[in-house]
Amino acid sequence: MKLLRHGPKGHERPAALDAQGRVRDLSSLLVDITPAVLTPASLQRLRGVDLASLPEVPQERLGVPWAGMGKFVCIGLNYADHAAEAGMAIPAEPVVFMKPTSAAVGAEHPVVLPIDATKGDWEVELGVVIGSTARCVDEAEALAHVAGYCVVNDVSERALQLERGGTWDKGKGCDTFGPVGPWLVTADEIADPQALDLWLELNGQRVQTGNTRTMVFGVAKLIAYLSRIMTLYPGDLISTGTPPGVGMGMKPPRFLQPGDTMRLGVAGLGEQFQTVHAWNPELVDA
């Protein structure tokens, strides 16, 4: 299934796409798409619903495809060629950092640069959404804990991330720096998460092209590794790293400017589109 939430901010309604790509309202079945809905038993019940029997509705403003995200965990330098363009060594273990959940926005939400931003950057990534509690799990069983997958744009402010002290989180966690969606695609629709094309266009120009098969650490390994550090709960999101083509790695480097547009996608998971804006708190809350 392709699950989504749409409508005014704070009043998003649950929906799903049918086989023809039409939006079907789930409000008669669910109050919202919460972590409890992402558990294996709940998703199995949803798969038994005849979507054609539900009302077709026009798609409105997109929110994050599920409510109640507990953690937004990110993996750095997880593509060898991206590590090379960043001038960093391929990590021996996953590089883990966090975005605050306040960074998460819908797939078409404006990306608003923070005050005094100088080096905004883009990163298309595969997102993994947890559906059952994972604590110290083995790699062989790790994918059984996945509810589904989504597109993530791991937007960064490189000066804050790398030049102004502290941890990576500071340059990764700004408001609007985590567009998610448009959909949460349940795991049964993705035969192999290590065989997905990723791409991103800046102002209509292709700048990132990659495939998840070139990850240093695959999805199953990441879940197993993280589950030994922290308990993963339904609704937690893991953003798994980006292929090469980010602005920091260009020669000369190229960074986001107000008015820039980003279109990005992952095979089978839909597309995002964002326009970049200078600091404007009203747009943050759009």
Contact between 101 and 126 (Cβ < 8 Å): no
Interatomic CA distance for residues 134 and 213, integer angstroms: 24
Looking at residue 212, its amino acid is T
pLDDT at residue 2 in the model: 98
pLDDT digits (tens, 9 = 90+) for 47-103: 999 999 999 999 999 999 999 999 999 999 999 888 888 787 889 999 999 999 999
**Residues of the chain whose pLDDT is less than 50?**
none
Q: Which residues is 275 bridged to in the sheet?
A: 261
Share of the chain above pLDDT 90, in %: 91
Report cis status (omega within 30 of 0) of the bond before 252: yes
CA neighbor of 156 nearest in space, from 137, 141, 176: 176
67-284: what fold? Fumarylacetoacetate hydrolase; domain 2 (3.90.850)
State in Å, rounded, how far the first CA of the chain is from the last one: 27
pLDDT at residue 68 in the model: 97
**Residue with tokens 């083995």, as numbered in its chain:** 138
Sorted by where each begins, the domain ranges of the chain are 67-284
Structural tokens at position 62: 């997109």
pLDDT at residue 154 in the model: 98
